[in-house]
Amino acid sequence: MNRTQMALRSCGPILLLLAALFAAPAQAESQGLFDRLLGREADQNQTEGQPDGSGEFWETDRDPTPIQPIGVPTSFADLAEEVSPAVVNIRTSQTVTGMPGMPPQLEEFFGMPFGGRGGQEHKREGAGSGFVISTDGYIVTNNHVIDGMDEIFAVFKDGQDLAATVVGRDPKTDIALIKVESPTPLPAIALGDSDAIRPGDWVVAIGNPFGLEHTVTAGIISAKHRRDVIGGSYDDFIQTDAAINPGNSGGPLINLAGEVIGINTAINPRANTIGFTVPINMAKNILPQLRSKGHVTRGWLGVVIQGITPELAESFDLKSEEGALVSKVLPDGPAAAAGIERGDVIMSFDGKKIAEWRDLPRVVAETPVDKSVDVVVIRDGDTKTLAVEIGALDEPKLAGDTNEASNPAVFGLRAQDLTPEIADQLGLPDDSGVLISEVQPGSPGEEAGLRRGDVIVEVNRQEIKDLKQLREELADGDKTVLLLIRREDSTLYVPLKRTG
């Protein structure tokens, strides 16, 4: 036997295996194997929600057959054609004063015209993406796409250009619900289950990147439960390598069954293969509230918590570093009423494991107000289960958007006093400082690297205790302001340049 014959003989099993793999999908399709692999039946009805506005109101009617077979896809064309009619381009405009056509961050560099007067009043246009979730015109997008806009339009693939109104928005999760009116039912896309996805699953993103309408990109789920992406207390992102670019914000991330499993939200400017989406299950928790009352009321426990280091685990005689350590119990709060004490380690909440301290604020926030839940704690080595009736997190009003030089809005920031309740919700050690609740895209604050959730503790080396004092320190009018901020467990100085 020569070498060629030996090589062919050794390759024989591999060639047979490849042939079997390529033949399997055709056989499986004829047997309906993919239907069984999907593991679900069709939901034949669209749920309309409860009379009080709670409950599901989005599209759930779908064929159980996957639009795209499970396995290595050869094309996403059928999937894109099926769902694209429900994906919209969001067109926005806002009346501003300044230099037309110039980005806000450049106006300071070139100076204001006419001796420093306000310049011309003109419209600043923006773009984003969204998707229809019910045939009567409810559309999901990102809050930052529509926040502060005077006009909002939804442009459909068939050319319809419909005016939209804001139904509700939630800056903390960057989710907004808008609505259009149409004489005929609109195409809607079904919402899937983001908890069911796994790293490695194929996904498709459809949106309006750089103004290029209905662009389709594909990739895989890279990771789940990504934290510290935009600095919010409820960060829990899905990471994907499907291309997500400016203008994709608010568009859907879709699985092979044609269901939305995420809302495209953030990109990593240092890597164009890393994008982040809000899990659709998080949106499902708040959309009924946005529809019924325009905002979100979150659950409140009434504790200040911190993570467990190896040293703390040893000091408290804990077997692991899991859980959330209670460093303070707020008087008259739900935790105090239930008997939770300082030094307790919360291990589970309403049946959900608390693997690390940052899990707790999110699961508490998602819990309905007045619901009684079991909280499992470790106290002095013993495990105790306590029944807690969840309270409502009081959301203070944000700082007003005025044109005063002393207003944080000058820097593209919204700020609010840091109350004990909010410090508790964010897992902060105390309530000193002023909380940054929003950073406008393209603003000096964003350029300086500030994030939502940062706490301003000093301005020009002066300690800041509340929003009133922050305004006073900013009133000096210095071109550059030196901030000391607290971001989770670290503090850092940030120079911030004033515009105007």
**Residue 297: alpha-carbon gap to chain centroid:** 17
Q: Would you place residue 167 in the very low, low, confident or very high pLDDT band (cuts 50, 70, 90)? A: very high
What is the rounded distance in angstroms from the CA atom of residue 168 to the CA atom of residue 293?
7
Contact 92, 127 (CB under 8 A): yes
CATH of domain 408-497: 2.30.42.10
Percent of the chain with pLDDT over 70: 70
- Cα–Cα separations (whole angstroms), residue 261 to 8, 9, 69, 327, 352: 46, 47, 17, 36, 21
Q: Would you place residue 50 in the very low, low, confident or very high pLDDT band (cuts 50, 70, 90)? A: very low
What is the rounded distance in angstroms from the CA atom of residue 458 to the CA atom of residue 140?
38
DSSP 8-class letter at 400: P
Residue 373, beta-bridge partner list: 388
What is the rounded distance in angstroms from the CA atom of residue 257 to the CA atom of residue 37?
12
What is the rounded distance in angstroms from the CA atom of residue 306 to the CA atom of residue 422?
14
In the chain, CATH 2.30.42.10 covers: 299-392, 408-497
Tokens 């809607």, residue located: 188
| Sequence-distant (≥ 6) Cβ neighbours of residue 304 within 8 angstroms | 326, 327, 328, 329, 330, 420, 423, 424, 427, 428, 429, 430
Whether the per-residue pLDDT at 39 is higher than 50: the answer is no
What is the rounded distance in angstroms from the CA atom of residue 443 to the CA atom of residue 144?
13
Higher pLDDT, 65 or 468: 468
| Sequence-distant (≥ 6) Cβ neighbours of residue 314 within 8 angstroms | none
What is the rounded distance in angstroms from the CA atom of residue 238 to the CA atom of residue 323?
23
Please report, as a single letter, which amino acid is at residue 86.
A
Alpha helices by DSSP H, listed for 394-497, are 420-426, 444-447, 467-474
pLDDT value, residue 48: 43
Tokens 């679900």, residue located: 40
Tell me how crowded residue 366 is: count the other CB atoms within 10 A of its CB: 17
pLDDT value, residue 269: 52
Whether the per-residue pLDDT at 210 is higher than 80: the answer is no
Q: Would you place residue 409 in the very low, low, confident or very high pLDDT band (cuts 50, 70, 90)? A: low
Q: So what's the architecture of 55-293 in CATH?
A: Beta Barrel (2.40)
What is the rounded distance in angstroms from the CA atom of residue 196 to the CA atom of residue 63?
18
Positions marked active-site: 144, 174, 249
- Burial, 495: exposed, middle or buried (Cβ in 10 Å; 0-12, 13-18, 19+)? exposed
Q: Would you place residue 350 in the very low, low, confident or very high pLDDT band (cuts 50, 70, 90)? A: very high
Q: Would you place residue 42 in the very low, low, confident or very high pLDDT band (cuts 50, 70, 90)? A: very low
Tell me how crowded residue 381 is: count the other CB atoms within 10 A of its CB: 9
Q: Would you place residue 208 in the very low, low, confident or very high pLDDT band (cuts 50, 70, 90)? A: confident
Residue 389, beta-bridge partner list: 372
Is the pTM here over 0.85, yes or no? no
Express each pLDDT in 473-498 by its tens digit: 876 666 678 888 888 767 777 888 76
pLDDT value, residue 87: 94
Phi/psi of residue 393, nearest 5 degrees: -75, 120
Choose the CATH number for 299-392 among 1.10.1270.20, 2.60.40.10, 3.60.21.10, 2.30.42.10. Answer: 2.30.42.10
Average pLDDT of the chain is 77
What's the token pair of residue 98? Answer: 């300044």
pLDDT winner (highest mean) among 124-138, 244-258, 457-471: 124-138
pLDDT value, residue 408: 60
Express each pLDDT in 96-139 by its tens digit: 665 555 555 444 444 444 444 455 666 778 888 999 999 999 99
In the chain, CATH 2.40.10.120 covers: 55-293
Phi/psi of residue 16, nearest 5 degrees: -65, -40
Higher pLDDT, 51 or 420: 420
